[in-house]
Amino acid sequence: YGNTRQEAILKVKALALRAIADKLEHGETLF
């Protein structure tokens, strides 16, 4: 059960990082 939860957290972090990277590529400011 712990592994499944940890994998889910890693997936969420990966999606968040990808979204931030996309915004930076398009020149949008995060703040």
Read off the pTM.
0.60
Note the pLDDT tens digit of each residue in 2-17.
689 999 999 999 999 9
Query: How is the chain split into domains, by residue range?
Result: 1-26
Using the predicted structure, report yes or no on whether residue 22 has a pLDDT greater than 60: yes
From the CB of residue 15, how many other CB atoms can be counted at a distance below 10 Å? 10
pLDDT top residue among 17 and 1: 17
Cβ atoms 26, 19 nearer than 8 A: no
The predicted pLDDT at position 27 comes to: 77
